[in-house]
Amino acid sequence: MHTLLPLNYAYDALEPHIDARTMELHHTKHHQAYIDKLNAALEKYPEGAALSIEELLRNLKVAPEEVRTAVRNHGGGHANHSFFWTIIGPASTSGTPSVALVAALNSSFGSMEKFWEAWQSKALGLFGSGWVWLVKGGDGLSIITTANQDSSISEGKTPILALDVWEHAYYLSYQNRRADYVTAFKNVIQWDEVSRRFDLSMNSR
């Protein structure tokens, strides 16, 4: 059984960048619903119930066809949100990216400014609901998007940074102003955690 873990900060801790009501609904309603529907799907896939969420998403093809879409959507929703909660937090603890991560971003994108331009462009260009990711793959660092709740893990990538661009993540405060939400997101990134994820991705390949 997958369960909803508490956040390690209060729902209002990200204000004014992300409002408390959005955080509470997003965590207790949206994320919880993905978990409930994943658990329901796994009742019909006991071998999958024994796997970690990462193993499930890395091996979607082995899931029986009757539950594969549910595992992809709701397992992805669970994994994506679990990851997201760890890389955002209070602006007061945002910090800065590690020297190694900055060097890698400069190498891959030309400069931090160009990295953020590319990030913004991907976030605004994503039609409908989905996620923007900084990932490590066989070809190094890249920014990718996934539709719906598809996980970058299912594409064989290791996520380092992620942004939920479903409207439920920002609509109460930002309505149609996705660009303002993307800008606000930068204030609440927890760079120590993102830098740790980057280090792990470098050591795993």
Minimum CB distance to Mn ion smaller for 24 or for 199 = 24
Collect all residues with Cβ–Cβ distance below 8 Å to 61 and sequence separation of at least 6. 68
- Rounded to an integer, what distance in angstroms lies between the CA atom of residue 73 and that of residue 20? 26
Q: How far is the CB of 118 from Mn ion (least distance, A)?
A: 22
Q: How far is the CB of 129 from Mn ion (least distance, A)?
A: 8
CB 35 within 8 Å of CB 188: no
Chain contacts with Mn ion (rule: CB under 5 A): 164, 166, 169
Q: How far is the CB of 66 from Mn ion (least distance, A)?
A: 26
- Rounded to an integer, what distance in angstroms lies between the CA atom of residue 146 and that of residue 149? 7
Do the bridges between strand 158-164 and strand 140-147 make them parallel or antiparallel, or are there none, so unpaired?
A: unpaired
Minimum CB distance to Mn ion smaller for 22 or for 195 = 22
Minimum CB distance to Mn ion smaller for 85 or for 109 = 85
Known binding residue 168? Answer is yes
Known binding residue 2? Answer is no
Chain position whose Cβ is nearest to Mn ion: 164
Known binding residue 81? Answer is yes
Residue 140 corresponds to which amino acid? G
CB 21 within 8 Å of CB 172: yes
Minimum CB distance to Mn ion smaller for 164 or for 193 = 164
Known binding residue 30? Answer is no
Minimum CB distance to Mn ion smaller for 34 or for 198 = 34
Q: How far is the CB of 3 from Mn ion (least distance, A)?
A: 18
Element housing 158 (H / E): strand 158-164
Q: How far is the CB of 139 from Mn ion (least distance, A)?
A: 28
Residue 53 corresponds to which amino acid? I
CB 13 within 8 Å of CB 89: yes
Residue numbers in the known binding site for Mn(2+) are: 26, 81, 164, 168
Residue numbers in the known binding site are: 26, 81, 164, 168
